[in-house]
Every structure is written in structure tokens, then in C-alpha cells.
Structure 1
Amino acid sequence: MKTTKRLEQALMKLYNAYHQNLLNPEDCKACAVGNILDNHDSWKHLTNGHGSLQLSYVGRVHENLGRKFNGYAPSEILQIEKVFLEACGFKTPLCHYNKRPSNPTSKEVLFDGLVAVVALLCKLDNIDNVMDYSKLFEQENGQPVYHLDTFLA
């Protein structure tokens, strides 16, 4: 399966963050976007509300100038973060009185967030979801349509 450079880099960073326990939805440097953007939090100035899709003045300037951050436009960065937070169980935009998961750094919560982010990253690049294995279970006349050795090649 062909992927884009930005997708490969993002997947590698998210994979490493997840397995090294460096993923935290409540930390701008360690959330999905924070990890994709090399653990910097300067991206938070692209919006006035963490988890919001509305670009701030700074975000609109960067968007209008066509700037990319590790390959992603400001509007894409906000989409990634919103999807991650909501899949982790947060109500967005983040606010101290909005719903949040009881254990936001549990592996189950983070995995749910990553599954949603990977689906969005693939969609942004017009690539089939790399985590979708449903084709492996398709059958025709009781026989598998795809075989594992050819499907993953």
C-alpha cells in the first residue's frame, strides 16, 4: 500500500508515543498533534479553544499563506486534535466543566483515540485506512476473497 511521507512520519511518531507511554490528550506537547509536531506546543496558537475547529487569527494567517507543519495545514491539525480528543472521551472544546474520561491516559482510551486519528490521517491523504482489516474476513461462496500473504504485500 502506498502512503504519503507525512502519513508515514505521523504514524511512526504516534506508534512510538503510544508504546513509550508518551501520549497524553491533556498535554499539548504529548497529545496526537503534539507528537506529530515533534513535541512542540506552538500549534496551540492556531486556535483559541483546545479541540476547536475554529482557527485563531494566527491560524488563519498561516492557513492563508499555505503554511504546513510537518506536512499538515493548520485546519488539518485542528481536525486531528478534535478527532483524537473526542475519541478519547472528551467533550470539545476542552473546558474544565466539560466531560472527560476518568483515566485519560489509559491504554484503552489512547488506543481509541489513535484508531480515530489514523482513520482521519488516511482520509486526509485519500488512502484506505491502514488499520482496516475487514477485507481479510470477506467471503465468497464460503471461501476467503483475500489471502493474508497477498493482502499485506
Structure 2
Amino acid sequence: MKTTQRLEQALIKLYNAYHNNRLNPEDCSACAVGNILDNHDSWKHLSNEHGSLELNYVGRVHQNLGRKFNGYTPQELLKIEKVFLEACGFKTPLCHYNLKPVNPTSKDTLFNGLSAVVDFLCQLDHIDNVMDYSKLFEQENGEPVYHLKTFLA
């Protein structure tokens, strides 16, 4: 499957963050977008509320100038973060009185958020979800349609 460079880079960063325990939905430098943007939190200045889709003045300026951050527009970054937060169980935009998961950094919670983000990133680039394994179970006349190559010696 052919992917775009921005998708490839984002997937590598998110994969590493998940497995190295550097993914945290409540930290702007360690959330989905924070990791995609090399653990910088400057992206938070694109909106007035974490988890909002509304660009503020700074965000609109960057958007209107066609600015991209690691391949993503300001609006795309806000959408990525919203998808991540909501899939992790947060009510957005984040606020101290809004609903949040009991354990926001549990592997299950983070995996749910990560899966939703990967699906969304693939949609942005018009690519089938790279985490979709349903094709492995397709059958035709009782036989598997696709076969896995094994590397067992």
C-alpha cells in the first residue's frame, strides 16, 4: 500500500509515542498532534480551546497563508486532536468540568484514541485504513481471498 510522506511520518511518530509511553491526551506536547509535531506544543496557539475546531486569529492567519506543519494545515491539526481526544473518552473542548476518562493514559484508552487518529489520517490522504485487518478474513467459496506470507523457518 502506498502512503504519503506526511502519513508515514505521522504513523511512525505515533507508533513510537505509544510504545515508549510518550502519548498523553492532556499534554499538548505529548498528545496526538504534539507527537506529530515533534513534541512541540506551539500548535496550541492555533485555537483558544484544546479540542476545539475553531481556529483563532493566529490559526486563521496560518490557514489562509497555506501554512502547513509537518504536512498538515492548522484546521487538519485541530481535527486530528479532536478525533484523538474524543476517542480517548474526553468531551471536547477540554474543560475542568467536562467528562474525561478515569485513566486517560491507560493503554486501552490510548489505543482507542490512536486507532481513531490513524483511521482519520488515512481518510485525509484518501488511503484505506492501514489498521483495517478485515480483509484477512474475507472468503470466497469457503477459501480465504488473501493469504499471509509467513516467515517461519
Q: Give the TM-score normalised by the residue count of structure 2.
A: 0.96
Indicate the residue corresponding to 1:15 in structure 2.
15
Question: Deviation of residue 50 (structure 1)?
Answer: 0.5
Secondary structure of the 1:85 match is helix
Give the drift of 1:145.
1.2
Q: Deviations over 1:51-94 (max 9, x none)?
A: 01111111000000000000000000000000000000000000
Give the counterpart letter for 2:28 in structure 1: C
Separation in structure 2 between the aligned mates of residue 148 and residue 67 of structure 1, nearest angstrom? 41
State how far apart, in whole Å, the 1-side matches of 2:137 and 2:110 are: 26
1:57 & 1:76 partners in 2: Cα distance?
Answer: 16
Give matches, 1:104-119, under 5 Å.
Answer: 104-119=104-119
For residue 121 of structure 1, what is the aligned residue in structure 2? 121
Give 3-state SS (helix, strand or coil) of 1:148's partner: coil
Identity in percent? 82
Report the AA paired with residue 96 of structure 2: H
Displacement of 1:143 in angstroms is: 0.8
Aligned partner of residue 100 in structure 2, secondary structure: coil
Aligned equivalents of 1:133 and 1:23: distance in 2?
24
Q: CA deviation at 1:137?
A: 0.5
Paired residues, number: 150
Give the 5 Å matches for 1:128-139.
128-139=128-139
Matches of 1:80 and 1:136 in 2, distance apart? 28
Distance 2:86 2:148 in 1: 33
Could you say which residue in structure 2 is the equivalent of 1:52? Answer: 52
Report whether the alignment pairs 1:87 with 2:87: yes
Q: Return the alpha-carbon distance in structure 1 between the equivalents of residues 90 and 138 of structure 2.
A: 34
Q: CA deviation at 1:46?
A: 0.6
Q: Which runs of 5+ in 2 are unaligned?
A: none
Corresponding residue of 1:5: 5
Deviation at 1:115, TM superposition (A): 0.1
C-alpha root-mean-square deviation of aligned residues, in Å?
Answer: 1.0
Query: 3-state DSSP class of the match of 1:131?
Result: coil
Output the CA distance in 1 between the equivalents of 2:7 and 2:39.
Answer: 17
Q: 1:146 deviation in Å?
A: 1.2
Give the whole-Å Cα distance in 2 for the aligned partners of 1:62 and 1:89. 29
The secondary structure found in structure 1 opposite 2:66 is: coil
